[in-house]
């Protein structure tokens, strides 16, 4: 991707101070305010974090190869589970989506850049510092945080020297997400090309508009919660300290008030991506465009009133259990609308199965499995059995890996010809898909069974009868991880070693519509300096 | 270009508005603390209202047709600073009548410590019907090295206790607050201790 848009081959006859190519060398990336450069940086950062977080998950799976202690002491094992989650959520999935938003939100709405380019640069460059802080805790005396990514007190307050680093890393990630979210909102609300009304806007932009509002609403609450933890530990406050009149259960309420909208932050952009890809390869306009928008809005609203379904077992009254159970189950309605719309879009379409479409179809199927296990977990009476077992682990990995991560992968395959100007290798793409979709199921499906049979999560040892399923899981995890290097090789070819790769046309995909396909491939360094004309032909979903 | 200039101006204004929303939500996180306290107090969730104090000359309206079991649980948080137990594990009471039970605590260390007992009532809907006129949990309890204390709790279940409740559990957890007490003034749930004249 590095030089894909290095040459601004669009002659700009007006003198605009941005109308020059990028700087040379490393300073280009440090000083850049270009949304495409920053999108690229975000995506590489995300890929790096996926590898680091993935290595931690392999350490976890290696330890769980058989009962008893294999390689790590329990303390280090707990550090791996905690840091795996933090790195994957805040370093992998969220920056991955922000990178896609950087690249594609301006290009799909016909804006020349994000509205606040310098803030955008700052938002990205905070992240390497945040994750240096976070990952450096492995080398501190006492090691990394090990109390789980949910950082419940009083357990997390027993963290040693790494505790303040954890808190400040979360503050920095929060600042980065919030600035990115504000940028996306004001860009979408103010910078759309003339004629692009909100209900003509492509669904990827819509999904990000809603996600950005969720981020703005809940990331500050997380910042507040970790600040309270910090003052409880070092400044003698008693927000969560029962001895001083506080209540540790209150932390769970505050955390999940952030945490549940957060899980939709991790999936809504994927909804937008899938809603973009399926119509392209079904060669039909998206079925039920407006209902897709309203469904995402409803999911976002409902996400604020369901948080206590994460804590059914803390002892909330029956009326509370019922409220949170039914409101949670209600989320299945708009989500079902989306799944049926995707299926209806494919119905009688002229479908072809290029790699992005394969990942999109797998998304619909596997995300639905995760959705169904979510419905089971929503049932308060049975949740008492499932709570804190591997069933929960299986559930959220089904919605996060074949959900959020497959969404990111599908988006990269879909748009990388536009970014780099060359087609990725389709054969390798298909190998990557089949390899991933097989081993991800081998990894996580057996975890449903051990969970239902009572294997608790976050514990390095287990009862012997769970050995077989755990070994299957471990084999799947290692093979899935290795297969991702096929993907990295493929995108590195497109980005850096393009000799012998097939050049991409401007349209790239036969059935693709939208403003991003009206510019050449690779996309010039500056696009839509003059606002484009929005035609009905480029927004077929809107009628 | 002018259209884009208006767009950028609107974007700047919008950003400031959203920044205010961010600050508001940061404050909202902290506002959840008193809000949570108020909801717990109102509903009795988490056994919160169990430390409610009534004056010792409260009218007794004994409902001798009804007998409710009250069970006592004692826990010491983190380690073996104290031995802590109830004289009786369980008493049978009539709603509307005042009872006195005793708890024993002994500092097992050879240094002075300050303890704070935190009460909790289960089931949650009994919490607001359990009234205490005297309790060692109302204030912090200083213990000299090796000191033992015999501590009364005077309580009443009011007759409005929901009919389906036949057992009420009153649980105390003793916390070592020596460090906390040195750092700042205690946040005890009620300021003064009422002395009951007789049992």
**pLDDT given for residue A476 in this prediction:** 97
List chain B residues with CB under 8 Å of A182: 15, 18-19, 22
Indicate the pLDDT class of residue B176, thresholds 50, 70 and 90: confident
**pLDDT given for residue B177 in this prediction:** 84
Reply yes or no on whether the pLDDT at A409 is more than 60.
yes
Segment B6-40, tens digit of pLDDT: 778 888 899 999 999 999 999 999 999 999 888 88
CA A511 to chain centre: 26
Reply yes or no on whether the pLDDT at A428 is more than 90.
yes
How far is the alpha carbon of A15 from chain B, nearest alpha carbon, in Å? 12
CATH number of A34-542: 1.20.210.10
How far is the alpha carbon of A324 from chain B, nearest alpha carbon, in Å? 16
Least confident of A109-118, A143-152, A516-525, B132-141: B132-141
**pLDDT given for residue A3 in this prediction:** 43
Average pLDDT value for residue range B122-149: 84
Indicate the pLDDT class of residue B183, thresholds 50, 70 and 90: low
Q: What is the DSSP letter of A464?
A: G
Least confident of A201-215, A497-511, B3-17: B3-17
Residue A428 sits at the chain B interface (C-beta within 8 Å):
no
For residues A430 and A449, give the distance between their C-alpha atoms in angstroms, rounded to a whole number: 30
Length of chain A: 543
Reply yes or no on whether the pLDDT at B53 is more than 80.
no
Q: Which residue of A has its CA nearest to B32?
A: A254
For residues A44 and A38, give the distance between their C-alpha atoms in angstroms, rounded to a whole number: 10
With beta carbons less than 8 A apart as the criterion, state whether A5 and A523 touch.
yes
List chain A residues with CB under 8 Å of B10: 186, 189-190
With an 8 Å Cβ cutoff, are B18 and A217 in contact?
A: no
Nearest residue to B25 via CA among A182, A293, A190, A311: A182
**pLDDT given for residue B186 in this prediction:** 46
For residues A116 and A212, give the distance between their C-alpha atoms in angstroms, rounded to a whole number: 15
How many secondary structure helices (H) and strands (E) does chain B include? 2, 9
Reply yes or no on whether the pLDDT at B59 is more than 80.
no
Q: Which of B26, B43, B122 sits opposite A220 (nearest CB)?
A: B26
With an 8 Å Cβ cutoff, are B46 and A315 in contact?
A: yes
Q: Is the pTM higher than 0.95? A: no
Segment A313-324, tens digit of pLDDT: 988 888 889 999
What rounded mean pLDDT belongs to chain A? Answer: 92
Q: Which residue has the tokens 């449903």?
A: A448
Reply yes or no on whether the pLDDT at B55 is more than 80.
no
Indicate the pLDDT class of residue A1, thresholds 50, 70 and 90: very low
Segment A368-407, tens digit of pLDDT: 999 999 999 999 999 999 999 999 999 999 999 999 999 9
Indicate the pLDDT class of residue A80, thresholds 50, 70 and 90: very high
**pLDDT given for residue A515 in this prediction:** 93
Q: Which residues contact A361 (CB under 8 A, 6 or more apart)?
A: A278, A346, A353
Catalytic residue annotation of A? 84, 113, 149, 176-177, 260, 262, 264, 275, 309-310, 335, 338, 457
Beta bridge partners of B117: B174
Least confident of A8-22, A344-358, A424-438, B67-81: A8-22
With beta carbons less than 8 A apart as the criterion, state whether A249 and A314 touch.
yes
Complex ipTM: 0.87
For residues A98 and A173, give the distance between their C-alpha atoms in angstroms, rounded to a whole number: 12
For residues A43 and A63, give the distance between their C-alpha atoms in angstroms, rounded to a whole number: 30
For A363-399, give one letter per residue: b (16+ CB within 10 A) or e.
bbebbbbbbebbeebbbbeebeebbebbbbbbbbbbb
Segment A118-142, tens digit of pLDDT: 999 999 999 999 999 999 999 999 8
Average pLDDT value for residue range A181-208: 94
Q: Which of A185, A247, A250 sits opposite B14 (nearest CB)?
A: A185
Q: What is the DSSP letter of A93?
A: I
Secondary structure (3-state) at B186? coil
Residue A112 sits at the chain B interface (C-beta within 8 Å):
yes
Q: Kindly report the backbone phi and psi dihedral angles of residue A88, in degrees, each rounded to the nearest multiple of 5, phi listed first.
A: -65, -40
- Of chain A, the percentage scoring pLDDT greater than 70 comes to 96
Secondary structure (3-state) at B176? strand
Domain locations along chain A: 34-542
Average pLDDT value for residue range A449-476: 95
Reply yes or no on whether the pLDDT at A299 is more than 50.
yes
Residue A534 sits at the chain B interface (C-beta within 8 Å):
no
- Cis preceding-peptide flag for A445 (omega within 30 of 0): no
Q: Which residues contact B190 (CB under 8 A, 6 or more apart)?
A: B51, B53, B138, B139
**pLDDT given for residue B47 in this prediction:** 66
With an 8 Å Cβ cutoff, are A221 and B29 in contact?
A: yes
Reply yes or no on whether the pLDDT at A23 is more than 90.
no
Indicate the pLDDT class of residue A269, thresholds 50, 70 and 90: very high
List chain A residues with CB under 8 Å of B11: 115-116, 186-187, 189-191
Q: Is beta strand B90-93 parallel, antiparallel or unpaired with respect to B68-76?
A: antiparallel
Cα-trace Rg, chain A: 23
**Most A CBs within 10 Å, among B2, B6, B18, to test the A interface:** B18
For residues A268 and A274, give the distance between their C-alpha atoms in angstroms, rounded to a whole number: 10
Q: Please report which helix (H) or strand (E) contains residue A137, including its range.
A: none
């Amino acid at each position: 991707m590095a030089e894909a848009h290095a040459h601004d081959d669009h002659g700009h006859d007006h003198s605009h101070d941005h109308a020059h190519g990028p700087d040379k060398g490393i300073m280009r990336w440090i000083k850049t305010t270009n949304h495409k450069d920053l999108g690229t940086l975000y995506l590489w950062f995300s890929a790096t974090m996926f590898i680091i977080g993935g290595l931690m998950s392999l350490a976890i799976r290696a330890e769980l190869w058989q009962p008893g202690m294999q390689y790590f002491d329990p303390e280090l094992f707990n550090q791996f589970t905690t840091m795996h989650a933090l790195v994957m959520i805040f370093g992998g999935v969220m920056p991955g989506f922000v990178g896609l938003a950087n690249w594609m939100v301006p290009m799909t709405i016909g804006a020349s850049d994000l509205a606040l380019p310098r803030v955008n640069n700052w938002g990205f460059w905070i992240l390497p510092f945040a994750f240096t802080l976070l990952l450096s805790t492995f080398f501190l005396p006492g090691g990394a945080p090990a109390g789980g990514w949910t950082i419940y007190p009083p357990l997390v307050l027993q963290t040693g020297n790494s505790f303040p680093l954890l808190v400040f890393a979360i503050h920095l990630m929060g600042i980065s997400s919030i600035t990115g979210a504000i940028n996306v909102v004001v860009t979408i609300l103010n910078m759309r090309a003339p004629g692009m009304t909100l209900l003509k806007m492509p669904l990827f932009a819509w999904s990000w508009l809603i996600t950005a509002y969720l981020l703005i609403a809940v990331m500050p609450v997380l910042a507040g919660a970790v600040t309270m933890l910090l003052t409880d530990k070092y400044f003698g406050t008693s927000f969560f300290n029962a001895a001083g009149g506080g209540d540790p259960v209150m932390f769970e309420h505050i955390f999940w008030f952030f945490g549940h909208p957060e899980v939709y932050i991790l999936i809504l952009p994927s909804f937008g991506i899938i809603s973009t890809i399926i119509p392209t390869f079904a060669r039909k306009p998206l079925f039920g465009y407006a209902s897709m928008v309203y469904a995402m809005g409803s999911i976002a609203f409902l996400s604020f009133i369901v948080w206590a379904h994460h804590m059914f077992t803390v002892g909330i009254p029956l009326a509370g259990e019922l409220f949170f159970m039914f409101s949670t189950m209600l989320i299945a309605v708009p989500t079902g609308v989306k799944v049926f719309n995707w299926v209806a879009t494919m119905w009688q379409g002229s479908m072809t199965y290029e790699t992005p479409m394969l990942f999109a179809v797998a998304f619909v199927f596997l995300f639905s499995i995760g959705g169904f296990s979510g419905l089971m977990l929503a049932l308060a009476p049975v949740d008492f059995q499932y709570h804190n077992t591997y069933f929960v682990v299986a559930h959220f990995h089904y919605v996060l890996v074949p959900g959020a991560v497959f969404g990111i992968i599908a988006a990269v395959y879909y748009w990388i010809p536009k970014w780099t100007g060359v087609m990725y290798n389709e054969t390798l793409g298909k190998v990557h898909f089949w390899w991933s979709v097989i081993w991800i199921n081998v990894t996580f499906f057996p975890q449903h069974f051990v969970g239902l049979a009572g294997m608790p999560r976050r514990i390095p040892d287990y009862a012997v009868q769970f050995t077989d399923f755990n070994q299957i899981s471990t084999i799947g995890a290692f093979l899935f991880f290795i297969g991702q290097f096929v993907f990295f090789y493929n995108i590195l070819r497109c980005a850096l070693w393009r000799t012998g790769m097939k050049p991409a046309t401007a349209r790239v995909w036969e059935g693709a519509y939208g403003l991003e396909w009206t510019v050449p491939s690779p996309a010039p360094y500056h696009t839509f300096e003059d606002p484009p004309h929005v035609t009905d032909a480029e927004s077929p979903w809107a009628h | 270009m002018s259209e884009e200039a208006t767009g950028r101006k609107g974007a700047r204004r919008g950003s400031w508005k959203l920044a205010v929303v961010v600050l508001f939500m940061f404050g909202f996180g902290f506002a959840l603390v008193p809000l949570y306290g108020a909801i717990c107090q109102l509903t009795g969730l988490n056994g919160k209202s169990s430390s409610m104090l009534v004056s010792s000359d409260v009218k007794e309206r004994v409902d001798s047709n009804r007998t409710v079991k009250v069970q006592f649980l004692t826990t010491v948080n983190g380690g073996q600073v104290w031995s802590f137990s109830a004289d009786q594990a369980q008493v049978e009471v009539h709603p509307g009548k005042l009872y006195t039970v005793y708890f024993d605590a002994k500092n097992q260390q050879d240094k002075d410590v300050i303890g704070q007992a935190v009460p909790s009532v289960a089931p949650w809907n009994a919490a607001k019907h359990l009234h205490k006129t005297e309790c060692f949990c109302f204030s912090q309890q200083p213990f000299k090295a090796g000191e033992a204390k015999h501590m009364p709790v005077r309580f009443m279940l009011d007759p409005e206790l929901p009919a389906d409740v036949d057992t009420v559990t009153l649980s105390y957890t003793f916390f070592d607050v020596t460090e906390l007490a040195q750092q700042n003034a205690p946040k005890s749930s009620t300021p003064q201790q009422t002395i009951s004249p007789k049992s």
